[in-house]
């Protein structure tokens, strides 16, 4: 059963095609990530899937309902954290939660308890009566996450949930997302331009560029597009070094400096086996390093560019552009 099904989705702004006919499916209970640089079309896709933008052509089913034909049914079943801020800055954290709850049909003690529970979950309970305009970026983000969870959505959309936040706050928010998935069995659709974020959180990743999905799979599957993991072994004996042989070892080479270079599918799984093998053959390993292809390598391989080509400075520039456009 799928939580999101998208077929040949196209979205044009005037003549400009921001999303160029993408298709994908997200399973129930899965964390699915769109990874791609700025301007790839991630936010546009999220806005179409959350009924905020009309698609130009194609079909999109979210939580069992067509986003075009039954937008209200879709809205009831989704929660969203937008890329750009969306809180009422004049009101307090509690009031923002309360108004959201009321609009989504909650009320009474049930609502009060939920607000308390969620504000505690994102560690904002002690600031509940502070107007949001005094909150830091990270606090606002946490509040937005709590707010999106208030009505217990079936599918949660997180559009660049940690953009512009410091590393500590980012890993904090990652923890919340993992907990949410585990405790509520929620389907999460995430967009990001951070590779580590996609890798940390997502069960499956679609790499997006220029309005198209150029690759899709688990992080491991995607990395295999580029090649195997590489392990370097430094052995005690420098002379007469021989290659280790086993069926999980895809390639082996002795380097001029005496180190052994092994290619394996998954270094994390292969390393224990290699230690066992070394023990059996009475070879003593004194140093191990390994290199896994990163998602950036994958993106580089597929597009000839790096995701990080357009790093933080561009993110800022695009935000300023957004402000000016409105």
Q: Which residues are near Mg ion by CB under 5 A?
A: 42-43, 83
Question: Which residues neighbour 167 within 8 Å (Cβ) at sequence distance 6 or greater?
Answer: none
Q: Does 85 bind another protein (CB under 8 A)?
A: yes
Binding-site size, ligand ADP (CB under 6 A): 11
Residue 223: CB minimum distance to ligand ADP, A? 22
Residue 83: CB minimum distance to Mg ion, A? 5
Round to whole Å and give the CA distance between 254 and 252.
7
Element (H, E) at 238: none
Q: From 91-99, 207-215, 220-228, 297-305, give the range in contact with another protein by CB under 8 A.
A: 91-99
Q: Does 67 bind another protein (CB under 8 A)?
A: no
CB 222, CB 255: distance < 8 Å: no
- Binder among 22, 24, 32, 42 for ligand ADP (CB under 6 A): 42
Q: Which of 147, 155, 148, 142 is nearest to 185 (CA)?
A: 155
Alpha helices in the chain (DSSP H): 42-49, 71-77, 93-103, 108-121, 137-149, 167-184, 195-201, 219-226, 267-280, 295-303, 312-325
Q: Work out the number of other CB atoms within 10 angstroms of the CB of residue 178.
A: 14
Q: Does 13 bind another protein (CB under 8 A)?
A: yes
Q: Out of Mg ion, another protein, ligand ADP, none, which partner does residue 38 contact, by CB within 5 to 8 A per kind?
A: ligand ADP
Q: What are phi and psi of 40, to 5 degrees?
A: -70, -25
- Binder among 2, 21, 28, 38 for ligand ADP (CB under 6 A): 38
Q: Between vectors from CA 184 to CA 69 and to CA 220, what angle results, nearest 5°?
A: 85
Q: Give percent helix, percent strand, percent coil of the chain, each to the nearest 5.
A: 40, 30, 30
Q: Does 314 bind ligand ADP (CB under 6 A)?
A: no
Q: What are phi and psi of 215, to 5 degrees?
A: -165, 155
Which residue is at the shortest CB distance from Mg ion? 43
Q: Does 40 bind ligand ADP (CB under 6 A)?
A: yes
Q: Does 21 bind ligand ADP (CB under 6 A)?
A: no
Q: Out of another protein, ligand ADP, Mg ion, none, which partner does residue 36 contact, by CB within 5 to 8 A per kind?
A: ligand ADP
Question: Interface with another protein by CB under 8 A: which residues?
Answer: 13, 47, 50-54, 72, 75-76, 78, 80, 82, 84-91, 95, 99-100, 102-105, 131, 323, 325-326
Question: Interface with ligand ADP by CB under 6 A: which residues?
Answer: 13, 16, 18, 36, 38-44
């Amino acid at each position: 059963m799928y939580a999101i099904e998208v077929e040949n989705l196209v979205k044009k702004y005037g003549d400009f095609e921001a999303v160029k006919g993408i298709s994908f499916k997200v399973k129930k209970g899965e964390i699915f990530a769109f990874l791609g640089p700025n301007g790839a079309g991630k936010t546009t896709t999220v806005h179409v899937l959350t009924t905020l933008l009309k698609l130009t052509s194609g079909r999109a089913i979210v939580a069992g309902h067509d986003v075009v034909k039954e937008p209200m049914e879709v809205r009831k079943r989704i929660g969203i954290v937008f890329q750009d801020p969306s809180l009422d800055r004049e009101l307090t954290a509690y009031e923002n939660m309360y108004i959201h709850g009321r609009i989504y049909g909650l009320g009474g003690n049930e609502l009060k308890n939920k607000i308390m529970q969620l504000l505690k979950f994102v560690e904002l309970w002690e600031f509940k009566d502070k107007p949001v305009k005094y909150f830091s970026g990270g606090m606002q983000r946490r509040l937005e996450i709590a707010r999106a969870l208030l009505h217990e959505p079936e599918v949660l959309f997180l559009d660049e949930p940690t953009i512009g936040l410091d590393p500590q706050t980012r890993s904090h928010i990652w923890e919340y997302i993992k907990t949410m998935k585990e405790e509520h069995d929620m389907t999460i659709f995430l967009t990001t331009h951070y590779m580590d974020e996609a890798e940390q959180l997502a069960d499956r990743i679609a790499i997006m560029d220029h309005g198209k999905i150029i690759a899709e799979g688990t992080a491991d599957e995607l990395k295999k597009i580029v090649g195997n993991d590489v392990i370097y072994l430094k052995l005690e004996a420098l002379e007469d070094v021989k290659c280790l042989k086993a069926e999980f070892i895809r390639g082996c080479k002795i380097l001029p400096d005496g180190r052994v270079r092994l290619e394996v599918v998954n270094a994390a799984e292969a390393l224990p086996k290699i230690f066992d093998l070394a023990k059996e053959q009475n070879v003593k390993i004194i140093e191990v390093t390994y290199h896994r292809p990163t998602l950036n390598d994958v993106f580089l391989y597929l597009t000839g560019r790096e995701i990080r080509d357009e790093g933080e400075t561009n993110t800022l520039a695009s935000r300023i552009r957004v402000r000016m456009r409105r």
